């Protein structure tokens, strides 16, 4: 019996040693896997940090590029605006140069005429004895012509101002004519009574503010060209007017009817 127990104990111890060795092997394997995983995580963490740094640098570069683009866009807009100003100034300078060229041509023609006059006067008649007198005559003639030229310039300036005033007057007259024609057209406008309420003493007119009716407008009613009464607007809409009948203005026994014509009581003036 003791021998059996001893054998059993030895067998159990041997099994424990075997399983212990197996456990150590598996532990070492798991440890190696864990350590490798730790190294992989550390490596991956380093790669993530590098990627984040690259992303940060890219974002900073993008921000700088956007700022640079905005600055260049603003500069371009300023250059375009400056170019427009320069183009306008060049047009103004070209117009001034054209005007000055025309004026210079006139002066050149005047100078040529003066030279012709001098050539005609300074000829065989001029001698050493009368040269001072001729020079004085030429200077006096020059002064007279200069004065005449100044007078002509003054007259031209006056004529230019007169033309400007005349153009302004023409524009004013044209505007006044347009306003007068409009008011005359308003005077010629007629409307038609579309409804009559004799009991309450009002009528409905098929026209309103679209033809210029206002609360102050005084209206006449006529039938077959004959005046039969007066009415006063009380409510005005764009295409319809309600007006109160002036009963005192109606002839004895007369009453307003649908179809009667309505015109302005007081014609518009200039």
Tell me: the pLDDT tens digits for 185-237?
A: 455 578 999 999 988 999 999 999 888 888 888 899 999 888 999 999 999 99
Which of the pair, 216 or 116, is modelled with greater confidence?
A: 216
Instruction: Please check whether residue 201 is in contact with residue 244, taking contact to mean a CB–CB distance below 8 angstroms.
Output: yes
pLDDT score of 101: 83
* pLDDT tens digits for range 98-108: 888 888 788 77
Given a cut of 70, is residue 266 above it in pLDDT?
Answer: no
CATH number attached to the domain at 190-264: 2.40.10
Tokens at 191, concatenated: 């409307």
* pTM exceeding the 0.85 threshold for the entire prediction: no
pLDDT score of 13: 62
Given a cut of 90, is residue 259 above it in pLDDT?
Answer: yes
Query: Could you tell me which residues come within 8 angstroms of residue 208 by beta carbon, excluding any fewer than 6 positions away?
Result: 236, 237, 238, 239, 240, 241
């Amino acid at each position: 019996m003791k021998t059996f127990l001893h054998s059993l104990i030895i067998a159990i111890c041997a099994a424990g040693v075997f399983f212990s060795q197996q456990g150590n092997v598996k532990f070492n394997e798991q440890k190696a896997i864990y350590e490798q995983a730790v190294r992989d995580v550390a490596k991956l963490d380093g790669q993530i940090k590098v990627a984040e740094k690259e992303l940060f640098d890219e974002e900073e570069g993008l921000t700088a590029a956007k700022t640079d683009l905005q600055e260049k866009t603003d500069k371009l807009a300023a250059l375009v605006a400056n170019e427009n100003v320069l183009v306008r100034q060049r047009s103004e300078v070209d117009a001034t140069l054209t005007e000055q060229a025309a004026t210079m041509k006139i002066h050149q023609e005047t100078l040529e005429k003066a030279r012709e006059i001098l050539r005609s006067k300074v000829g065989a008649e001029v001698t050493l004895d009368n040269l001072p007198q001729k020079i004085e005559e030429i200077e006096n003639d020059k002064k007279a012509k200069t004065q005449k030229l100044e007078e002509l310039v003054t007259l031209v300036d006056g004529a230019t101002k007169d033309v400007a005033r005349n153009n302004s007057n023409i524009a004013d007259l044209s505007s006044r004519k347009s306003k007068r024609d409009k008011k005359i057209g308003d005077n010629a406008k007629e409307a038609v009574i579309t409804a009559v309420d004799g009991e309450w003493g009002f009528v409905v007119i098929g026209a309103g503010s679209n033809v210029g009716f206002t609360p102050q407008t005084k209206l006449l009613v006529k039938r077959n060209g004959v005046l039969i009464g007066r009415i006063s607007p009380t409510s005005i809409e764009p295409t319809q007017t309600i007006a109160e009948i002036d009963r005192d203005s109606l002839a004895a026994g007369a009453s307003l009817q649908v179809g009667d014509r309505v015109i302005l009581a007081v014609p518009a003036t200039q």
